[in-house]
Amino acid sequence: MKHTFSACCCAILISISAQAQKGASHFEIDTRTPLQTMDGFGASDAWSMQHIGLWPDSVRLQTADWLFSTENDSKGQPLGIGLSIWRFNIGAGSHDQGRESGIGSHRMRTGCFLRPDGTYDWTQQPGQRNFLRMAQERGVRTFIGFFNSPPVYFTQNGLATNTGRGGTLNLKTEHYGDFALFAANVVKGLEQHDGIKLSYVCPVNEPDGHWNWVGPKQEGTPATNREIAGLARAFSQAFTRKGLDTKILINESSDYRCMFATHMTDWQRGYAIQSFFCPDSTDTYLGDTPNVPRLMAGHSYWTNTPLEALRSIRMQLKDTLDKYNVQFWQTETCIMGNDEEIGGGGGYDRTMKTALYVARIIHHDIVYAGARSWQWWRAVGGDYKDGLLREFSNREGTDGHVVDSKLLWALGNYSRFVRPGATRMGITATDKTGRAVTEGDTDRTGLMCTAYRNADGSWVMVVVNYATEEKSMTFHVDDRKVKSWQPYLTAEGAGKNLQPIGKVGNGKQTVIPARSIVTFVSR
């Protein structure tokens, strides 16, 4: 049946169009309003890189190029997203335990550099170490080593999971020093054998996550704030004795709300910022501990919906961080069951639906939480929305192939162009009449804009258009060296992955396509 629009329908469409045009349309980059310094964008190697790192060269090299390359093809299109941070999962030894580890999937078990007799085996985790080297070859300089569990030889239940235990650290009291020495030896060993310097080490991962208490089907342990503080001090002493300047990063909270309050836990695991960086917290204060920076790491899981919470939770986090003069890194997230707007975490999605949803999270973490770094969970995953790339392998995991996604390239709009040391700059947004629009740089269903100045003096403007219609806008920076901007487009369709398109004059009108991300780089 052929459908026709009535006059009433036309009126509704005109009304909707008029409403869509309201709000900010011009964005002035405030050259006198520097905000946070950006330390980089990254992802982790868990767990896929332990087998992909041993696949044929053609697959390994393509995967590494997608993740780390800062080169362009002959048409000027980026070959990769230029991640500048890489998280290395330091194994606890569940691999050798096989099914007795309590971890059902052999792909989620890890080896351990430490052997039962106290010696070290530097042939362990070879696939992951291949990717460490390939990342470094492509320009990555910040490497983070993170622990899901202490080595199984030191844990209270002899496992790398928390099976059969409560909500305390799965580490025998007499082995705090041994765990710290192991971490120090791993830092030295990777530098000696692979030429890789771990800039940071995280002793715990999601210690306040209630999932950790019941023994998950992966490596992990809970911990109280007092246990984390004791562990950080032990690490500090071991690193000092070994002459290491590697920083100790805490505490990778599973939910932002555990960082400034309590959420699905109690005071022993909540109020992490106050516990570690308020001098009044004498039992847990780490502000004067060598090798521990005034920097908190947290994960943005479960805080991305509803939309008002996306903003308000991050503002509460920023308020607490500022009160105690603490910097912030978002070090891990992916799509979870409560992200209902895009269907939850199940089933991999290569389209802009997930890509735009994540871009909105990145924007809010940077603007409202003040994140200096933003890191995705897994670089490569399976049939779940937890990988920048999607792997397809045989049952044994010994061979396969990898495909890219719009999510990968969405992150690339930030990681490829906003380089370590860049300064985020404020933006003044105005409407078509020239009136200022409060928080006009953040329309959660329309345009979301952030601006940066790289250490080399180049300017970057990242614009996310969440709307289903294109948006006209102008933006400008008062810098005589900037004559024009080179846009890079990520949108639905083949080839639209950081695709360079026609240049735009400084202050001239441009159109942001519907459901797209465009990054402008000054020329």
Tell me the average pLDDT across 185-212: 96
Tell me the average pLDDT across 148-165: 96
Check pLDDT > 80 for residue 9: no
Tell me the average pLDDT across 6-12: 37
pLDDT tens-digit profile of 39-50? 999 999 999 999
Residue 507: exposure state from Cβ atoms within 10 A (0-12, 13-18, ≥19)? middle
Check pLDDT > 90 for residue 390: yes
Domains of the chain: 26-35+423-522 (2.60.40.1180), 40-420 (3.20.20.80)
**pLDDT at position 144:** 99
Percent of the chain with pLDDT over 70: 96
**pLDDT at position 211:** 83
Give the contacts of 316 (CB within 8 A, at least 6 positions apart).
256, 260, 261
Check pLDDT > 70 for residue 342: yes
Tell me the average pLDDT across 183-187: 98
Tell me the average pLDDT across 515-522: 98
**pLDDT at position 12:** 32
**pLDDT at position 23:** 84
Check pLDDT > 60 for residue 17: no
Torsion, Cα 175 184 40 80, to 10 degrees, reads: -110
> 3-state SS string over 86-134?
EEEEECCCCHHHHHHHCCCCHHHCCCCCECCCCCECCCCCHHHHHHHHH
CA angle 41, 221, 389 (to 5 degrees): 35
- Residue 216 falls in which region: left (phi positive, over 0), alpha (psi -120 to 50) or beta: beta
Tell me the average pLDDT across 456-479: 98
With beta carbons less than 8 A apart as the criterion, state whether 331 and 280 touch.
no
Task: Report how far apart the first and last C-alpha atoms of the chain are (Å, whole number).
Answer: 52
Tell me the average pLDDT across 317-337: 98
**pLDDT at position 265:** 87
Tell me the average pLDDT across 168-190: 98
Q: How confident is the model at residue 22 (pLDDT cuts 50, 70, 90)?
A: low
Q: How confident is the model at residue 1 (pLDDT cuts 50, 70, 90)?
A: very low
Q: How confident is the model at residue 210 (pLDDT cuts 50, 70, 90)?
A: confident
CB atoms closer than 10 angstroms to residue 159 = 24
**pLDDT at position 19:** 37
Tell me the average pLDDT across 337-362: 97
pLDDT tens-digit profile of 111-127? 999 999 999 999 999 99
Cα atoms in the 13 Å half-sphere on the side-chain side of 197: 8
Residue type for 68, please? Answer: F
pLDDT tens-digit profile of 93-106? 999 999 999 999 99
Cα dihedral 431, 422, 206, 218 sign? positive
pLDDT tens-digit profile of 398-432? 999 999 999 999 999 999 999 999 999 999 999 99
Q: How confident is the model at residue 6 (pLDDT cuts 50, 70, 90)?
A: very low
Check pLDDT > 80 for residue 10: no
**pLDDT at position 212:** 85
Check pLDDT > 90 for residue 435: yes
**pLDDT at position 20:** 36
Tell me the average pLDDT across 248-254: 97
Tell me the average pLDDT across 338-346: 97
With beta carbons less than 8 A apart as the criterion, state whether 513 and 467 touch.
no
**pLDDT at position 519:** 99
Helix (H, G, I), strand (E, B) or coil at 484: strand
When mean pLDDT is compared across 4-13, 95-104, 114-123, 334-343, the lowest value belongs to: 4-13
The span from the CA of 218 to the CA of 109, in Å, is: 7
